[in-house]
A and B are shown apart, each in its own frame.
With several copies, the nearest count.
Chain A
């Protein structure tokens, strides 16, 4: 699903944020991405969602070398991913409902199906009353949940979530994690970047730890023994 081969990333003339990352994420796997603030978690996810090109090395997604893809193919590949951005990136003039419906519209889903899927999902994350609310009228945690709903509504093959629980309390955080678990059970490859150590400790998933620009895999067992 995701394969990185000695991948490095620098922004402009700055230092290498990632230097020589080699990794392989199996289809249907679930990883936590951890590391200090500024370690490069968001940058790593940005590579995977084709928001940034690697400075060197090879990145394979869905079995294809992304460096060899045309613009059209990259667009199509992006549609198979769901992304929760650290800063949400909701569209300000669209309601919560419309924001979540967007990925379905882009792939040309039937309006009827869109309606039921979106309403259902927003109810699940506790926003049944906010379907017609604009993002600016939602609280921070509500916005974050809309962002998550938008990422998962299209049942993507690859789900990338960047700090998806930073603005909600632990009870809602758990509820959101169940959503990711459910996606995972249905075959989606999931990567969740987070600082929330309590959350990481509660689940039996391997961690990818970013430190000094390199990625280290900490298997689920060791992780469970460690901080949890």
Chain B
């Protein structure tokens, strides 16, 4: 027989210490105290900052290239040398316009006025480019029929033969390099954005794995005590989301400040090439998407990593 007596476990005896004294419960997974809680927000901030810059840079390069490109695709320019006086110049332009409108493949023509021309040349010739007295070549914008690529055959030769003072200009030769440079920059920006995304996912997987490994014993114990997978996954997910949000906001603000400063620089000078690089409302909107995106990536990656690991437990 087992010995009995006074040594019976307690039954209904009131607790020694006042109830409620220990009610504030610590989390069973102290993820918020992990080293990652100090690391992750900063790394995410850095990544969001980078993604922000790359995004706006890429969109700017895209706009620039598109502007040049759309200005050039299906377009030609014909220069007409100014004659000895305005009358002669006008006659020459009239001849060229007649020839062009009669040509196959030409949809429309437009003579650039003095102001448009001046704006084009201002950075090089200064304000005087607008002066009436400066004899400039006349420029005629030619829009080709949709589907027509390059110079319609024979056009250049006919122009040269009939009006020697006119010269056909296929911009591609000059702006092509600029456009491919802008497109390259755009590609690099895209690559940086993609890499930032990959780095975020990679980091989240690593941080989560590390958390799983640091807290492996606790997690296994919780599992054996009947905790559900989603209970554990939820803690990791929430933690990752919180840290990513914090980092994302910091990164957003940093990127916003830098871009705002850049815009001020661009606007303070009136250079013609640059405005398309400064952020537009669309850019600002794209920026605002980054922190929620970071949070979503963080939460989903953490959840997925944890659940994948937990299903290995019996």
Chain A residues in contact with chain B, CB under 8 A?
49-53, 71-72, 75-79, 83, 89, 91-94, 97-98, 101-103, 105-106, 111-112, 115-121, 123-124, 128, 131, 174-175, 177-179, 181-182, 202-204
Asked if residues A106 and B226 are in contact (CB atoms below 8 Å), the reply is yes
Closest beta carbon of chain A to B19's beta carbon, Å: 4
Q: When A76-B226, A89-B217, A91-B28 are in contact, do A181 and B15 touch as well, CB less than 8 Å?
A: no
Using A115-B19, A123-B16 as known contacts, say yes or no to A203 and B226 having CB atoms under 8 A apart.
Answer: no
Contacts A89-B217, A121-B10; is A72 near B224 (CB within 8 Å)? no
The reply to whether B225 and A106 contact each other, CB–CB distance below 8 Å, is yes
Report the Cα distance A52→B19, complex, angstroms: 37
Total A-B contacts with CB atoms under 8 angstroms apart:
105
CA distance A97 to B26 in the complex (A): 11
Listed in ascending order, the chain B residues whose CB lies under 8 Å from chain A are: 1-4, 7-10, 13-17, 19-23, 25-26, 28, 30, 33, 217-218, 220-229, 314
Quote the shortest CB–CB distance from A212 to chain B (angstroms).
23
For A115, give the chain B residue with the smallest CB separation. Answer: B19
Contacts of B28 in A (CB 8 A): 91, 94, 102, 105
**What would 17 more interface pairs be, CB under 8 Å, given A98-B25, A175-B7?**
A75-B228, A77-B226, A78-B225, A83-B224, A89-B220, A93-B30, A93-B33, A98-B22, A105-B25, A115-B15, A115-B17, A115-B20, A123-B10, A124-B10, A174-B7, A178-B4, A202-B3
Pick from B8, B15, B218, B228: contact of A178, CB below 8 A.
B8
Identify which of A78, A115, A120, A204 contacts B224 (C-beta below 8 A).
Answer: A78
Top 5 A-B pairs, shortest CB-CB distance = A79-B226, A116-B15, A78-B226, A115-B19, A119-B15
Q: Are A178 and B2 in contact (CB under 8 A)?
A: yes
Contacts A51-B314, A112-B20; A174 near B224 (Cβ below 8 A): no
Shortest CB-to-CB span from A105 to chain B, Å, is 7
Hey, which chain A residues are within 8 Å of B229, CB to CB? 71
| B22 and A182 contacting across the interface, CB-CB below 8 Å | no
Residues of B within 8 A of A94 (CB): 26, 28
Chain B residue at smallest Cβ distance from A151? B225
Q: Can you list 15 A-B contacts (CB < 8 A)?
A: A75-B226, A79-B226, A83-B225, A92-B218, A103-B226, A105-B25, A106-B227, A115-B23, A119-B16, A120-B15, A124-B10, A131-B22, A174-B7, A177-B2, A178-B4
Q: Which of A93, A120, A204 is the one whose CB lies under 8 Å from B1?
A: A204
Given A174-B3, A182-B8, are A98 and B224 neighbors across the interface (CB < 8 Å)?
A: no
- Which residue on chain A has the smallest CB distance to residue B21? A115
Q: A75-B228, A98-B25, A111-B23 are in contact. Are A178 and B7 (CB under 8 A)?
A: yes
Q: How far is the CB of B226 from chain A (nearest CB, A)?
A: 4
With a cutoff of 8 Å between Cβ atoms, the chain A residues found around residue B220 in the complex are 89
Q: Is the CB of B9 within 8 A of A182?
A: yes
